[in-house]
Structure 1
Amino acid sequence: MNVRCAFFAAIACGLLNPPAYAGLDRPLGAGRLTLDATGILDSAIGLWGAGQGRESLNGTVLGEASWIPARADANPVSISAYASVLWVEGRGPSDRILGDFLGASNSEAFQSLRLYSWWFEVSGDLWSLRSGALLADEEFTGTKSGASLINSSFGWPAFISGNTLNTGPAYYAAALGARIAWENEDGWSARAGVYDGDSLDSAAGDDHPNRHGTHYALNSEDGAFFMAELGFAPVDSPNRFTTGVWAHSADFADPVSGDLHHGNYGAYVIAERTLRGRTGEPGNIVAHVRYGGAPDDRNAVAWAVDTAVSATGLLPVRTADTVAFGVAHARLSSGLAGGDYERVFELSYTAAVDERLSLQPDVQYIQHIGAASTGAHSWLFLLRLTAAY
């Protein structure tokens, strides 16, 4: 533990003022430290506190080369590479005591030091092709207002994470895969990806086979995970619309009868709107609604919906601060004994101390913990410290 702390502290000090490199658009090294302190108030549990830290070291190397074909509108092609290391220490509230279904903290994971994500990318002006150990949650299903909240349901949604093997290719385990993306000047965009069907390489959810992110195994039992997404953000319009589908080629059991079904799939839609100002600027307000579903004969989650609104710089003296409020609801498949729904209400305020440091007090009210009809209701209080270096 002390060796790892010293290791990360030394690297962090070296990256606070990273050197400039010719030909690179960004520093060679960068990173982010996230520390969570949480407390839970429940009529049966009482008051409980815990701490968890997540540290991520990110190294990015970007090299560019121009290729000019025999046509007037020549487009340069660039080649880039990326790699990151993730260290998770401590246990979060969901694992330690809550047992909630949606995941109260989006930084919670198995404790480990692991090779996180790495990839190579070839890109042009309107397209890119990426291959390596990828995280689909960084590129699909995302919303601007949901990114300001801490509960996992506002990030990688329950209608995917609750229905695939070990939540799919998302935090905290990347999966081997490839992704292609395209966009045009009229506001249309599309992306599609194929990934290893089980990033942990354990159908039982045991993290030990791939505890350090260096075990890669492709086999028919794990199957493959597919995603495709189409987006439209009209020029000079405050609206953005997204629709997507996902599929998995492995066998999935009926949650009630246990009968096996070959393959799995689902679909989702997202509507976002800028209510005021421009994204990231003072006075900006954005909101979204996101809904997705999957067949209940092979999935735990029949459907889930979340909505959120976030506002940046509402106070003249705090122009970089963001306040956000969201509601998420996940409905379990019909027929599950004792199964019902889980719902969370979250209010969060991110206070920017400076360009690299922020404090985020957060409160969540979680209903039907564990998505059980007899599940308790609890208040969760969380304080997050985030430092970028």
Structure 2
Amino acid sequence: MKPLKVIVMVDDYNYSHTYRTMRNQRLIAGLLLSLAFLLTVVNASCQIDESLSFEASYTSDFVNSPYSTLNTGNAYMGVIDLATTLNTEAANLWKGGEFYFHMENTHGATPSADLVGDLQVFSNIDNGDYTYLYQLWYKQTWGDFSIIVGNHDLNSEFVASEYAAEYINSSFGIMPSVSMNVLVSIFPKPCLGSVLQYNVSNRSVFKAAIYEGDPLCLDDEPYNTSFSLNMDDGFLSIGEYAYSLTLSEHLTGTYHVGAYYHSKACNDISNSELQHEGNYGYYFIADQMLTKSSSGNKSLAGFLKIGVAPEDRNEYPFFWSLGFNYYAPFTKRSNDIFGLALASLSINENLVGSDKPYQYNYEQVIECFYKTPVTKNITIQPEVQYIINPGAIASNNNTAIGLVRTYINF
């Protein structure tokens, strides 16, 4: 039997769309990796102006899913990040200015959709084959006050936990009670926004931001360079207050409370003829050091994340996650981390039933990892995730996933 080929007609020319896309993405990925290596050589051998800094990294996941419902087998995916920062003060232009340019290439499989069918997406680099502008913004600082304007990732400033950021499942990044209920400027498609920050004191910070109402997707804007505003999509506003405290001499912690509002009208969950003027929700995040040795290396830290949204207009009205990170678990491995966490996403009860979109009222994930540096520039993170009620659908089995993440910083 001959293999099936997908043919796309564009301006009277035939293209093998799948093959062409894979070939182009592999070529671009190779070029970007070559550029990352070149930047490394330049940084190591040349004197670069202090006003410019370069960052290059490659992150990859190898996934083994032997018992998943949709398909079984292995998958690979990766993301290349290239970023440049220009400090205007170091460049003798003006004080307090910073330009930031960040591009990405993602490639490989999309295993959440093709293998597991989970809602929360078990890998935070799962995206498919794209090359695009990720962030492009300018930041100006005046003392305790700053403003950012441009294409910006909301999750880099809001709804973020220091300790939860060690985990790979997407739900430990931005809460799905936010990102799955309203359109948000996050990976892989940030959009135009503006962020205001005021450092109230040494311990407290207030942030507020406004973003486009619909970032669209990379299929609609393949390179994310449109920079156009559509007021019909409304806007997303968000505010967060963070307070840092010390329980004892070494046990520091940071606590965040936040709220968001999307101005576009949305349908009522139980009555499709009823519309609400907008959508909103609240969240709380706690990062706390629990124990710390006198040497300062061995420590135990925990995090708690809670998100709530009104049930009358949201499919996912409640989310919580809890985790513990053990730093330097072995005396001679001071940079290693062991982590164990649980995340739980609740489904709106009006959508749960034998004849409804969902048959379970929650999806949960347990993630356990061990992260260790191999060299100065390479870190590996083997882990296991166990997903309970993937997709909250009765036909999907609980799934165990083996995953090895590799971080390469050039």
Q: Which residue of 2 aligns with 1:363?
A: 384
Distance 1:47 1:248 in 2: 38
Distance 1:217 1:95 in 2: 30
Q: Which residue of 1 aligns with 2:231?
A: 220
Structure 1, unmatched stretches of 5+, are: 68-75, 201-205
Q: Which residue of 2 aligns with 1:326?
A: 341
Of structures 1 and 2, the larger Rg is shown by 2
Q: Which residue of 2 aligns with 1:203?
A: none
Deviation at 1:77, TM superposition (A): 4.3
Q: Which residue of 2 aligns with 1:41?
A: 66
What SS is found at the alignment partner of 1:140?
Answer: coil
The answer to whether the aligner puts 1:290 opposite 2:312 as a matched pair is no
What SS is found at the alignment partner of 2:229?
Answer: coil
Q: Is the 8 A contact 1:148 1:348 kept in 2?
A: no
Distance 1:188 1:317 in 2: 36
2:158 to 140, 146, 151: 140
Deviation at 1:207, TM superposition (A): 3.2
Structure 1 residues 223-302: aligned runs within 5 Å: 223-234=234-245, 238-258=252-272, 259-277=274-292, 282-302=297-317
Question: Which letter does structure 2 place at the counterpart of 1:16?
Answer: T
After superposition, give the CA deviation of every residue in 1:151-198 in whole Å (9 maximum; x if it has no partner): 000001111011012xx1111111101001122444111101100111
Q: Which residue of 2 aligns with 1:7?
A: 31
Distance 2:62 2:148 in 1: 36
Distance 2:384 2:67 in 1: 13
Deviation at 1:47, TM superposition (A): 4.1
Moved more, 78-87 or 215-224: 215-224
Q: Which residue of 2 aligns with 1:335?
A: 350
Q: Which residue of 2 aligns with 1:116?
A: 134
What SS is found at the alignment partner of 1:42?
Answer: coil
After superposition, give the CA deviation of every residue in 1:209-255 in whole Å (9 maximum; x if it has no partner): 21211123322331101110001112566232110001101121223
The answer to whether the aligner puts 1:210 opposite 2:221 as a matched pair is yes
Q: TM-score, normalised by structure 1?
A: 0.89
What SS is found at the alignment partner of 1:288?
Answer: strand
Structure 1 residues 92-241: aligned runs within 5 Å: 92-165=110-183, 168-200=184-216, 207-234=218-245, 238-241=252-255
Question: Which letter does structure 2 place at the counterpart of 1:295?
Answer: P
Structure 2, unmatched stretches of 5+, are: 1-23
Q: Is the 8 A contact 2:181 2:315 kept in 1?
A: yes
Q: Which residue of 2 aligns with 1:91?
A: 109
Distance 2:144 2:329 in 1: 35
Alpha-carbon spacing, 1:59–1:246, altered in 2? closer, same or farther (3 Å): same
Question: Which letter does structure 2 place at the counterpart of 1:290?
Answer: K
After superposition, give the CA deviation of every residue in 1:100-138 in whole Å (9 maximum; x if it has no partner): 101100011142100110110011342211100010111
Distance 1:210 1:218 in 2: 13
Q: TM-score, normalised by structure 2?
A: 0.85
CA RMSD after TM alignment? 2.2
Q: Is the 8 A contact 2:110 2:128 kept in 1?
A: no
Deviation at 1:296, TM superposition (A): 1.5
1:59 to 84, 87, 104: 84
Q: Is the 8 A contact 2:200 2:206 kept in 1?
A: no
Distance 1:43 1:246 in 2: 35
Deviation at 1:284, TM superposition (A): 2.8
What SS is found at the alignment partner of 1:9?
Answer: helix
What SS is found at the alignment partner of 2:36?
Answer: helix
Distance 2:190 2:38 in 1: 26
Distance 2:338 2:269 in 1: 39
Alpha-carbon spacing, 1:5–1:141, altered in 2? closer, same or farther (3 Å): closer
Question: Which letter does structure 2 place at the counterpart of 1:330?
Answer: L
What SS is found at the alignment partner of 1:11?
Answer: helix
Alpha-carbon spacing, 1:184–1:351, altered in 2? closer, same or farther (3 Å): same
Question: Which letter does structure 2 place at the counterpart of 1:311?
Answer: Y
Deviation at 1:374, TM superposition (A): 5.2
Question: Which letter does structure 2 place at the counterpart of 1:298?
Answer: R
What SS is found at the alignment partner of 2:335?
Answer: coil
Q: Is the 8 A contact 2:138 2:149 kept in 1?
A: yes
Distance 1:66 1:97 in 2: 49
Distance 1:172 1:43 in 2: 25
Q: Which residue of 1 aligns with 2:373?
A: 352
The answer to whether the aligner puts 1:21 opposite 2:48 as a matched pair is yes
Q: How many residues align?
A: 370
Distance 2:399 2:345 in 1: 17
Question: Which letter does structure 2 place at the counterpart of 1:30?
Answer: E
